[in-house]
Amino acid sequence: MANKVVISTDIAQTLTEAIDEVKHDKLFLLTDEITHALCFPLVKRLSCLQAAIHIIIGATDTHKTLETLAKVWTELGQGSGSRHSLLVNLGGGMVTDLGGFAASTFKRGIKYINVPTTLLSMVDASVGGKTGINFNGLKNEIGVFNSPETVILDTEFLRTLDHENICSGYAEMLKHGLISTHENFAELLSFDLNEVDYTHLGQMVGTSVAIKERIVAEDPLEHGIRKALNLGHTAGHAFESFCLKFVHEPHNKRGIHPVLHGYAVAWGLICELYLSCVKTGFPTDKMRQTVRFIKENYGTLPIICDDYEELYQYMTHDKKNTAGIINFTLLGNVGDIRINQIADKKEIFEMLDFFREG
């Protein structure tokens, strides 16, 4: 399951070497409409991509669907792709997740390279071998574990991001900080997301990726400690799925709309740190400090009591569950990871109360 992660300062050299290392008959490049407009111009003149067949898909998580996957399969086939072809995924987490799944299933599997262009995909989606699509209203319901040949991290792409996408990726970095060391987490809480120091952010990206790599190497198929990476995600995926249903009601009276993954994870961290305080002794002062940082930078989601049952039902579909019992990753302290923690419906509703009122 291991893949090579390269932190690049010269995308031309790094990408050329990565492509040359994989024998292939056809080269395909996958982007979405946004990354094709903003990020492809940074690499379009590279000689290593001149023979690439371009596949462009719709942007945002609303296109992380079976229909989009079928489009990619179709274009791979129409481009005479074979089991010896190579796919380069240039984009955010939606592109690397869906592109990785397309590569893993086309002709029973072709090789692929990830070039993440968002902070979220650099520190989370493109590393670790998880691929997939949303299905039946559920986040990442269908997918496989299959690592790319190489992941290329070039933080110059981060300069193409808006504030919301920086924040979205940073939520996963907060999670990595919570499961690592007090020093790392303190550094993350002191970073100014409104005045981004890209050099400092690049250094923290390297640290964040190293945390995830270490855990994935120890448990590539998520049988044990890799569940640490799910901190904030049981509640977070429920929030994300809940918001996704409003894609066809953009002007609803609730003011709810589909949200970036990292915002849902940040809100999920509020919920699961509260559970950690209640169930596993996480320090209240650290929880309050984290909640304050998240609310200042991510706002909140205007859920009401009537939403609790629906959010609970989304949690029952979480892939970490066993026999329908909702499973959480919690903390005893920063770096003190407690996997396979359960909470009953009453505790989960109290958690949602805290999210609304705490």
Domains of the chain: which residue ranges?
4-161, 164-357
Pick from 263, 259, 255: which is nearest to 233 by CA?
Answer: 263
In a structure prediction context, what are the per-residue pLDDT tens digits for the chain, which is 358 residues long?
Answer: 446 899 998 999 999 999 999 999 999 999 999 999 999 999 999 999 999 999 999 999 899 999 999 999 999 999 999 999 999 999 999 999 999 999 999 999 999 999 999 999 999 877 888 999 999 988 899 999 999 999 999 989 999 999 999 999 999 999 999 999 999 999 999 999 999 999 999 999 999 999 999 998 899 888 899 999 999 999 999 999 999 888 888 888 898 999 999 999 999 999 999 999 999 999 999 999 999 999 999 999 999 999 999 999 999 988 778 877 899 999 999 999 999 999 999 999 999 999 999 7
pLDDT value at residue 127: 81
pLDDT value at residue 118: 95
pLDDT value at residue 128: 85
CATH topology of domain 164-357: Dehydroquinate synthase-like, alpha domain (1.20.1090)
pLDDT value at residue 137: 86
Residue in the block written with tokens 């999210």: 355
Looking at 3.40.50.10420, 1.10.3720.10, 1.20.58.60, 3.40.50.1970, the CATH number of the domain 4-161 comes to: 3.40.50.1970
